[in-house]
Amino acid sequence: MIYPWIKALHLVFVIAWFAALFYLPRLFVYHADATDAVSDARFKVMERRLFALMNLAATLALTLGISLLVLEPGWLSAGWLHLKLGFVLALVVYHIYCGRLLSLFRDGRNRHSARWFRWFNEVPALLLLAIVVLAVVKPL
């Protein structure tokens, strides 16, 4: 049966996506504090490479998630899934905004402080909590 494999791979890529979503804003914290050209260049390379991996993990997680919905179309009538998909959409928006922030750093136009990035870094943790609770508990 293919369903358990799709579900397992979906979870693996969700974990990889979240790992990158937790680490990229942390790199932004350090980058915002960097004052020398060598550190600035190093962070730009690290951020660019991590974002590429983050894009791959997100694409695979979302594709496999859609595959699960195709295999379990009954879930589409569940309230918990609608709410979960709303949080996943928020996560995608956050991901895209991280790409925008990466571009600002790349172009030397970042205007946010390290402190701002520390708060920004908390968003995926809140989304993770909501998504996991909805997927496991299915309260609605």
**Predicted confidence band of residue 140 (pLDDT cuts 50, 70, 90):** confident
The mean pLDDT of 75-81, rounded to a whole number, is 93
Q: How far is CA 132 from CA 17, 42, 97, in A?
A: 14, 34, 22
Chain segment 13-54, per-residue pLDDT in tens: 999 999 999 999 999 999 999 999 999 999 999 999 999 999
Chain segment 97-127, per-residue pLDDT in tens: 999 999 999 999 999 999 999 999 999 999 9
If you write DSSP's letter for every residue of 82-135 in order, what string do you get?
HHHHHHHHHHHHHHHHHHHHHHHHHTT-----HHHHHHHTTHHHHHHHHHHHHH
* Residues in contact with 132: Cβ distance below 8 Å, sequence separation at least 6, in sequence order: none
